[in-house]
Structure 1
Amino acid sequence: MSFEVLDGGMLALLQDPGRYGYQHIGVTTGGPMDEHAFRWANRLLANPPEAAQIEINIGKLGLLAHEDTCIALTGADLGARINGKAAVPWRTYHIQRGDRIEFGMPVAGLRAYLAVAGGLKPVIKLGSCATVVREGLGGLDGRGQKLAKGDCIGFDRCHKKTMTSLPIGEVPDYNEDLQVGVIPSYQYAHFSPGERMKFFSGSYEVSQRIDRMGYRLTGEPIASELDGIISEGIAYGAIQVPSDGQPIVLMKDRQTIGGYPKIGCLSALDAGQLAQRGPGAKIRFYLADVAEAEAQRAIFNHKLETFKTSLAGP
């Protein structure tokens, strides 16, 4: 009972919530770049929150089902098709043995998530299957490889479920300019009031230099009073400012320590929204605090917990 990979696409990775408890020995967390989309995919299927999924970066993945199941698609619209018929994200689909699931190129967003009822069945290494290619950890066989033609991804057969979809009002628009809150932290006090004003009043653009490690932005440069710092642990969403003054937002596959000054940090949910923006997207920052981030997370968790299934058509 499995999906056979017909085309590995640009970068398709097995992910679960991440590998925690090992950053002190240099092992990063990995996990889904867009936690909002990842968690909704599992919720639509009533899966455990930690159930493994496929993160499809950019597109072109092709799968063949060898057993009946039910899937959920969330995140980016990558022009998915099931047996040649368009399959929009943010809803579930019944899959029969012999069905083909294929992804095209981005229509909106960069990263789509495919969850299967009951979760996928990869090898677990250090408590997780999260794929971090740079570290050679996670993935189908635990060696950190992206999905490739000929791979078979196991899952358990399931009975048909009621088809569900996310209410339209909860679906993010990845084509919109993004405004995200920055929690002042790290070396915030070592950026002068003038530099902070430039940072919060300006607009930044997502550059071509983006990946699962970090998002380099371009805009009016800002400078810290510090030339450098002793390397320290780095949180997901930290915004470091190297000597050229162009911010870099550190993402799921970030290094575990770094020596650049950091002006603050994004919440996990906001960093996930940034991960859906491609080169040229406009980003603005505003001053936030921990209480706002906690409230944002509490509201999100409440929506997940109280979600009720709704018919989504055949």
Structure 2
Amino acid sequence: MAFKVLKPGMLTLLQDLGRHGYQHLGVTSGGPMDEVAFLWGNSLLDNDDNAAQLEITFGMLSLEATQPTSIALAGADLGATLNGDSIMPWQTYAVKAGDVLTFQQPKFGLRAYLAVKGGFLAEPVLGSVATVIREQLGGFTGKGDKLQKGDLLPYAPTQQHTPRHLPRLAIPNYDQTEIDVVTGYQYKSFSGLDRAHFFSSAYTLSQNCDRMGYRLDGRPIGKDQPGIISEGIAYGAIQIPSDGQPIILLKDRQTIGGYPKIGCVTSISGSLLAQKKPGDKIGFRYMSVDQAERERHLALARIHQWR
């Protein structure tokens, strides 16, 4: 009734859609870095949207099934194989007892999602199984542990399998380099020149990129900006610290901060950003709140309509 972990990979975490309603206590939301891929993974199997999946960062994971099930892969192409045969993301596959599922290094993107029929089984902590290592919350142990060799990952076995794949037009374009940004109330405190530089410059993802946030290297902006009184931080907030290099705060972000923020990455672009690796280049594109809301509603409607 489980996958046995033969190789744990670089960073493999159990995730659902996140732990909400506790930021006032300093508890971050967690959840899948690429929420769009996560939702598609559950849709391919007719799972509940919140059914727990594995988020596999950079690959190097190997699992052995102890019971039959149906799986779906979504997100990055990490060179996955089933019993040595190549399998592709955005499809479902039947798995039998004794089958070995392996993920290699990234061919395209950075994070893959492995869903099983009915979702992986774990006990929620504060209403969620989302793994946040820093806060020692969630995961299969409830203590925020990443996968280790020998772990057993429970699921409800099933012989039921429906072959499915995503239409090509529905598959996200991970080659896209433009990241959509909604400006916030602190945007006007930046000079016109800083605003122009921010939206016209290319930035490189630094080596300091993780689930908490992505630090960028490029043309500095707002170096003369004063600090602000610490306040709550939204997903995707773009902080500008004293060195002028933007920091995009993501799923495992801290809940408060005192750097000024020039804007906020949209949720759809946040999923795209989650598939970028250190060294990749991105640029920013202005989007209104109305446009961002329409984009998200359209993406969710497309998933639910496909169901």
Compute the TM-score of the two structures, normalised by the length of structure 2: 0.98
CA distance in 2, matches of 1:172, 1:293: 16
CA distance in 2, matches of 1:93, 1:158: 13
Question: Which residue of 2 is the match for residue 311 of structure 1?
Answer: none
Inter-CA distance 177–50: structure 2 relative to 1 (3 Å threshold): closer
SS of equivalent residue, structure 1 residue 135 = coil
CA distance in 1, matches of 2:52, 2:202: 36
SS of equivalent residue, structure 2 residue 259 = coil
Q: Identity over the aligned pairs, expressed in percent?
A: 54
1:43-82 correspondence to structure 2 within 5 Å? 43-82=43-82
CA distance in 2, matches of 1:302, 1:172: 15
Q: CA deviation at 1:186?
A: 4.0
Question: Which residue of 2 is the match for residue 113 of structure 1?
Answer: 113
CA distance in 1, matches of 2:224, 2:304: 45
CA distance in 2, matches of 1:177, 1:124: 35
Q: Alpha-carbon deviations, 1:125-156, whole Å to 9, x = none?
A: 00000000000000101000001111111111
Q: CA deviation at 1:220?
A: 0.6
The 8 Å contact of residues 224 and 261 in structure 1, kept in 2 or not, is answered as no
Q: Alpha-carbon deviations, 1:210-264, whole Å to 9, x = none?
A: 0000001111110165320111000000000001111110010000000001000
- Name stretches of at least 5 consecutive residues in structure 2 with no aligned partner: none
CA distance in 1, matches of 2:27, 2:64: 33
The 8 Å contact of residues 183 and 288 in structure 1, kept in 2 or not, is answered as yes
SS of equivalent residue, structure 2 residue 291 = helix
The 8 Å contact of residues 3 and 152 in structure 2, kept in 1 or not, is answered as yes
The 8 Å contact of residues 93 and 161 in structure 2, kept in 1 or not, is answered as no
- Name stretches of at least 5 consecutive residues in structure 1 with no aligned partner: 309-314
The 8 Å contact of residues 69 and 161 in structure 2, kept in 1 or not, is answered as no
CA distance in 2, matches of 1:224, 1:246: 9
Give 1:67's aligned amino acid. Answer: Q
Question: Which residue of 1 is the match for residue 37 of structure 2?
Answer: 37
CA distance in 1, matches of 2:295, 2:172: 15
1:1-314 correspondence to structure 2 within 5 Å? 1-174=1-174, 176-223=175-222, 226-307=225-306
Q: Alpha-carbon deviations, 1:265-286, whole Å to 9, x = none?
A: 0111111110100012121111
Give 2:247's aligned amino acid. Answer: I
RMSD (Å), alpha carbons:
1.0
Question: Which residue of 2 is the match for residue 312 of structure 1?
Answer: none
